[in-house]
A and B are shown apart, each in its own frame.
Chain A
């Protein structure tokens, strides 16, 4: 069965303390892996799409990487405004739905 597991569930960092979030997935034929940011009470905001192993994407302090079994979201020198829940989702070739993980809740303290 297709599924997505994110770890850790929650992460507390000091401002400037770099870290990584993990997304492990099993899917029968990966069409794409997606990262979203979600603020409390809001809809998810699109960050990145990765399509094949070895691919990397960057945006400001965020960098997403992809292997055949997992993806990492690296956060370099985070700021308090990076505090949010980060969601990972995969889409399989044979179906149009996205499978989401439960997210990692990131809290960056000044």
Chain B
């Protein structure tokens, strides 16, 4: 059984640029969630994807967008990067979704984004 994998592990961008982060979900999991974790804080929910559709969104602006593919892998895209976007971006996979009981989240190691 393979766990959740994320890429890249680290990246540096400048303000105004765009970034794409990638996530492969754990084998057998059909739901992917993305979280942003600033230094010293808990993870903050960005959005969740279930069956290739967005299935819930937190308080993040539209420049944060995502995709889920038929194999349940996912991408997080952030446009017009701002300094405050610097954080650890975590992908989590789970079973269920759409209110049927998502159960536990299993996280990847994260992508550390630095915006200069």
Contacts and interface: CB of A to CB of B under 8 A. Distances in A.
A44 B44 contact: no
B41 A102 contact: yes
A53 B45 CA distance: 25
Q: Using C-beta atoms within 8 Å of the partner chain, give the interface range for chain B.
A: 20 to 34
Contacts, number: 68
Contacts of A96: 33, 48, 50, 55-56, 97-99, 102
Contacts of A41: 88, 109-110, 112
Contacts of B43: 44, 87, 89, 98, 100
A49 interface: yes
Q: Using C-beta atoms within 8 Å of the partner chain, give the interface range for chain A.
A: 20 to 34
Chain B CB within 10 A, most for which of A44, A45, A46: A44
A101 B44 CA distance: 9
Nearest to A45: B107
Interface in A26-74: 31-32, 34, 36, 41-46, 49
B78 interface: no
B48 A100 contact: no
B104 A34 contact: yes
B105 interface: yes
Nearest to B105: A98
